[in-house]
Amino acid sequence: MAVDTDKPAMTVFYKVDDMDETQTGVLDTIEAIVTSIKHKPGALLPILHRIQDQFGYIPDAAIGVIATHLRSTAADVHGVISFYHYFRSEKPGKHVIEICRAEACQAQGCREFERHVREKLGIDFDQTTPNRDISLKAVYCLGNCATGPSIRVGDKIKGRMSPAKFDRLVDELTTFKLELK
Ligand code: FES
């Protein structure tokens, strides 16, 4: 039997059962990201950031690819993902709302505000509404301490949040606007 010496001498196992779209395309993208960064020192975090930027979360299938290329274990990669709150292991909703729970925002009533948010959306932190419109995340300081309670929606930070302001925001995010000409 001929041996193909161009191929790397390692076996790569991929977990693909969490993928619903073009599985090969997703894996190709993950491979491309990992191979473009893996030689840099401390490559794991930049790889995870790039993958989350690309997919909105870290698909399970990425863990095996990363572990293989970095000569690490799936448990180690998984450990890093779960250590950093920033990384998501599940596909987020259409909009991600992050609520600051740090001290300055707490002093400005964020606990009460949080209660309203959870009731309004019917979900807790790290959950997504059943219609997959909104995911809720906790963060610890958004650098907007003087005007808390603060939240971030996508890349926009909003301060002085109140229950009424939040309800208006949810309406805006979830209302489909028709453009009349
Ligand atoms: S403490 Fe909430 S933005 Fe800094």
**Is residue 84 a contact partner of residue 47, using CB atoms and an 8 Å limit?**
no
The letter for the amino acid at 45 is L
**Is residue 175 a contact partner of residue 164, using CB atoms and an 8 Å limit?**
no
Check if 74 has its Cβ closer than 6 Å to any atom of ligand 1: no
Give mean pLDDT, residues 12-24.
47
Cα of 157 from ligand 1 centre, angstroms: 11
Cα of 176 from ligand 1 centre, angstroms: 31
Q: Report whether pLDDT(5) > 70.
A: no
- Cβ-defined contacts of 166-174 (< 8 Å, 24+): 166/113, 166/116, 166/117, 166/120, 167/120, 170/120, 170/121, 170/134, 173/94, 173/95, 173/133, 173/134, 174/133, 174/134
Q: Report whether pLDDT(24) > 90.
A: no
DSSP letter assigned to residue 175: P
DSSP letter assigned to residue 97: E
Check if 102 has its Cβ closer than 6 Å to any atom of ligand 1: yes
Q: Read off the pLDDT of residues 40-82 as tens digits, 9 standing for 90 and up.
A: 999 999 999 999 999 989 999 999 999 999 999 999 999 999 9
Q: Report whether pLDDT(15) > 80.
A: no
pTM, 2 dp: 0.72
Give mean pLDDT, residues 1-25.
44
Give mean pLDDT, residues 81-106.
93
Q: Report whether pLDDT(12) > 90.
A: no
Ligand 1 atom, smallest distance to 110 CA: 2
Q: Read off the pLDDT of residues 124-170 as tens digits, 9 standing for 90 and up.
A: 998 999 999 999 999 999 999 999 999 999 889 999 999 999 999 99
